[in-house]
């Protein structure tokens, strides 16, 4: 049964890599505008869960519905189109194109969707101002600090106004001050735009920015709200 008001729902996901089980009956749901921290020890299945929810990895069994549509039954091209139109991604490392300026990086998802250069760059600049990195727009990713680069990556993930933002250890490479600022800006922006955020982290101080925490252990998800 789909929980009322949920945007993205996974039920009974199983996924194994050869003989290694990664997900073993994992279930998850998220509402529009909700920030959910996915926690758990290394190797517990967090990234696999995120990749299944994002339609990057197909589970062996179980269902994933997004806005009432069954993601697991969708052809690859349909899932790719959905990722471009409705999803945004922020990872720990290596997501910016080194040859492009920061502004061009942020504008890239809009350019790929067919937006004119001028309009895409104007939208990019607005998001960079919001993330407090407009001043490095003309630089290349190799010329900015780790914290600035990650803010650029967040701006790029949000420039298409995604309905779901997937963030996998988004502050893992930052010191605590920069990490907290990025989390504040990321969650404020998501709440303002009513985007859902699936936030994979192993750090309690990062999870503190969420509305709800779930813990993945041995490929199963436990909702901490219902925990004794």
Q: Which residue has the tokens 């899932």?
A: 79
Convert 179-207 into a string of H (helix), E (strand) and C (coil). Answer: HHHHHHHHHHHHHHHCCEEEEECCCHHHH
Shortest distance (Å) from residue 137 CB to ligand ADP = 33
Contact predicate 46/15, CB 8 Å: no
Q: How many residues in total does the chain contain?
A: 228
Shortest distance (Å) from residue 50 CB to ligand ADP = 8
Q: Which is nearer to ligand ADP, 27 or 148 (CB)?
A: 27
User: Where do contacts with ligand ADP occur on this chain (CB under 6 A)?
Assistant: 17, 20, 22, 40, 42-48
Shortest distance (Å) from residue 52 CB to ligand ADP = 9
Q: Which is nearer to ligand ADP, 76 or 142 (CB)?
A: 76
Shortest distance (Å) from residue 169 CB to ligand ADP = 9
Distance CA 214, CA 39 (A): 6
Q: Which is nearer to ligand ADP, 16 or 100 (CB)?
A: 16
> How far is CA 190 from each of CA 21, 193, 197, rounded to the nearest angstrom?
33, 5, 7
Distance CA 20, CA 44 (A): 11
Q: Which is nearer to ligand ADP, 111 or 202 (CB)?
A: 202
Q: Which is nearer to ligand ADP, 123 or 215 (CB)?
A: 215
Shortest distance (Å) from residue 219 CB to ligand ADP = 7
């Amino acid at each position: 049964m789909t929980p009322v008001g949920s945007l993205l729902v996974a039920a009974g996901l199983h996924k194994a890599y050869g003989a290694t089980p990664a997900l073993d009956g994992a279930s998850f749901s998220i509402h529009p505008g909700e920030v959910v921290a996915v926690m758990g020890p290394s190797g517990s299945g967090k990234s696999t869960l995120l990749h299944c929810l994002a339609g990057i990895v197909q589970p062996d069994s179980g269902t994933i519905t997004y806005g009432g549509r069954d993601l697991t039954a969708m052809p690859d091209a349909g899932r790719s189109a959905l990722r471009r139109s409705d999803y945004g991604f922020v990872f720990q490392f290596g997501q910016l194109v080194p040859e492009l300026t920061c502004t061009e990086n942020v504008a890239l998802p809009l350019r790929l969707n067919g937006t004119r250069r001028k309009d895409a760059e104007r939208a990019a600049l607005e998001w960079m101002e919001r993330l407090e990195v407009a001043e490095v727009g003309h630089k290349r990713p190799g010329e900015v600090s780790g914290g600035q680069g990650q803010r650029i990556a967040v701006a790029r993930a949000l420039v298409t106004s995604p309905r779901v933002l997937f963030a996998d250890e988004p502050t893992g490479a930052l010191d605590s001050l920069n990490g907290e600022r990025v989390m504040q800006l990321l969650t404020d922006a998501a709440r303002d735009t009513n985007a859902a955020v699936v936030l994979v982290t192993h750090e309690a101080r990062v999870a503190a920015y969420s509305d709800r925490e779930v813990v993945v252990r041995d490929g199963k998800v436990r909702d901490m709200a219902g925990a004794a």
